Structure 1
């Protein structure tokens, strides 16, 4: 029996493996993809971090180079793969190409069923698959009649595929604004959202906002659980608001309905639109836990700060607003990982902790 199995080798799973090693365990990490980098290789091409490199590292390994730069997607992928290699050298086992099909409870913990037919037993389990695999696709009035293209930001890669088209980006968060801004160089773009976009300067008083977060302790503020967490503001280096003011893209209240190849706006005007990009967020990607009864009907886990309320040996990582405002970010998941691993270790029989430390010797 494995003392601790971690499902997912993205930033959350790797942070969990680091915490498990420091707790004296030798964790087994299962990753469905062929690379230990989570969802990062599948994000859109131009994605850059909202936080500088010095504030974006996982525990125990800093980003190379200028700490004030904002790493782009491919840098993060390389960093995570390097981090996974360091964990492997320290004793963690990371299996790629290992997709989990389901998890069932046993008297001693859990059985993890892989889609290739294998099964593994574990005393403790951490679900660290994040949410990228489960994009939120809200029902749009009239979408069954719409003849244009509807896609989610999870499927967006580069603006060239929509060049010269009339595009509506639905959302008011960082991804919505970044994608709309990028598309506006090639297409006519409108941001549609139920509430206005809330911008905050990315570098107030000449320092990145995350410097002030660290100084004031904002990133570590405890949060009360909420079924509807607050929307994050858009970090603006100055160009996004300028683009709106200069008319390179515009923002409108959410449209009322779709009809044929048209969008009907809230004021009753109708307009032909070629494509709609839904930057409407994600939901926890935890369907493999359905057999356990550990999830609410909404698909969200039943938990308190990442520790399951239904199964003592089960933990969660990578949930938005799990414990603090930075819970599902590179800069914040390490703290959550330590908390969850400590909580699970406290519930493990001492013999399993000792066996985990010896496994592989």
Structure 2
């Protein structure tokens, strides 16, 4: 019998494991991938973090490199792997949770074995299950469609004979639009305007200002925190300049597709359609439309009608032996980030008992 089983060996699960092991608890971390960090390795090749190294550390292990370096996905994956090795965290790979049911204790059934634990921490990620809008069904089979999470090397997908449509203009959409243009594709980036913070302000990285002003550590259940994390404020990117000349920018939503034309909508009215992909062009769509976490392995009573955890600041409001770590804005604006999840994990582990 374990004191705690943690589902997921990403940054959230490993931070929770660190604190539990330090407290002398018998724990086990279950990870579905074949290798620690594989969720990062599976992203597109030139994916780069927008937070500098100074703010990318998990508790107990400082990141390598210079303070203001922006690292890529492989460096993150390798750091997570090194974290497990440094603290000898007990992780079992190739373990996908099929169901978690509670009688006297939690019974965690996986694809390989069944485990028992007194407590359960769900750390399966803030960006786990890709979302593709219903309008995707209106495009013919001749047009290739991928979610951004499925992209590996964009050069293998597009070139000068390609018309690339990217839907979603957040950080991922903007990065992929630039890569598509660099590969020679005709790129159309569609999505509402996104606020963009400068990379540097008054001679310092913007994250220096965000951390030193307290904005990254303010509690999201406070009045100021609720204002900062209000979903109506939309997505914010950092350091993204104007699109290159090869990118057509349409600041609205894709509303439909028929007879070779994209249809759009704005908050006020329909916008003129756009013929796409155009003559003699291969059409490729990348949906940068975010994620929605799903928990089919958990008992229904732990979830609301939308299938999301019934929790307050990471602690289940239904069962005092269950907690969630690593969700977006869980306790702070940085709750889902590599350098922000550690503080949440320490508090949640202590409060879970």
Given the superposition, is the C-alpha separation of residues 38 and 14 from structure 1 closer, same or farther in structure 2, using an over 3 Å criterion?
A: farther
Contact 2:189 / 2:247 at 8 angstroms: preserved in 1? no
Determine the C-alpha separation between the residues in 2 that align with 1:259 and 1:125. Answer: 48
Q: Which has the higher helix share?
A: 1
For 1:167, what is the secondary structure of its paired residue?
A: strand
1:111 aligns with 2:111: no
* Counterpart in the other structure of 2:208: 211
* Counterpart in the other structure of 1:357: none
Q: CA deviation at 1:285?
A: 4.0
Aligned residue pairs, count: 334
List per-residue Cα deviations over 1:137-184 (Å, max 9, x = no partner).
121176265641221101012221122311121112111111111111
Given the superposition, is the C-alpha separation of residues 77 and 192 from structure 1 closer, same or farther in structure 2, using an over 3 Å criterion?
A: same
* Counterpart in the other structure of 2:280: none
Any unmatched runs of 5+ in structure 1?
Answer: 346-361
Given the superposition, is the C-alpha separation of residues 300 and 43 from structure 1 closer, same or farther in structure 2, using an over 3 Å criterion?
A: same
Q: TM-score if structure 1 supplies the norm length?
A: 0.87
Determine the C-alpha separation between the residues in 1 that align with 2:321 and 2:251. Answer: 47
* Counterpart in the other structure of 1:272: 276
Q: TM-score if structure 2 supplies the norm length?
A: 0.89
* Counterpart in the other structure of 1:184: 181
Runs of 4+ residues deviating >3 angstroms: 144-147, 224-232, 246-249
Determine the C-alpha separation between the residues in 2 that align with 1:22 and 1:229. Answer: 40
1:198 aligns with 2:198: no
List per-residue Cα deviations over 1:89-113 (Å, max 9, x = no partner).
xxx3111111111100112x31100
Determine the C-alpha separation between the residues in 1 that align with 2:249 and 2:231. Answer: 27
Determine the C-alpha separation between the residues in 2 that align with 1:333 and 1:229. Answer: 24
Determine the C-alpha separation between the residues in 2 that align with 1:16 and 1:99. Answer: 19
Q: CA deviation at 1:38?
A: 5.2
Determine the C-alpha separation between the residues in 2 that align with 1:17 and 1:243. Answer: 42
Given the superposition, is the C-alpha separation of residues 142 and 12 from structure 1 closer, same or farther in structure 2, using an over 3 Å criterion?
A: closer
Aligned pair partner of 2:121 in 119, 126, 131: 126
Given the superposition, is the C-alpha separation of residues 140 and 129 from structure 1 closer, same or farther in structure 2, using an over 3 Å criterion?
A: same
1:42 aligns with 2:42: yes
1:60 aligns with 2:68: no
Aligned pair partner of 2:345 in 337, 347, 354: 337
Question: Residues 253-268 of structure 1: matches in 2 within 5 Å?
Answer: 253-265=252-264, 266-268=270-272
Given the superposition, is the C-alpha separation of residues 288 and 87 from structure 1 closer, same or farther in structure 2, using an over 3 Å criterion?
A: farther
Determine the C-alpha separation between the residues in 1 that align with 2:243 and 2:136. Answer: 29
Aligned pair partner of 1:282 in 287, 291, 309: 291
Given the superposition, is the C-alpha separation of residues 227 and 248 from structure 1 closer, same or farther in structure 2, using an over 3 Å criterion?
A: closer
* Counterpart in the other structure of 2:267: none
Superposed CA RMSD in Å reads: 2.1
1:156 aligns with 2:151: yes
Contact 1:37 / 1:81 at 8 angstroms: preserved in 2? yes
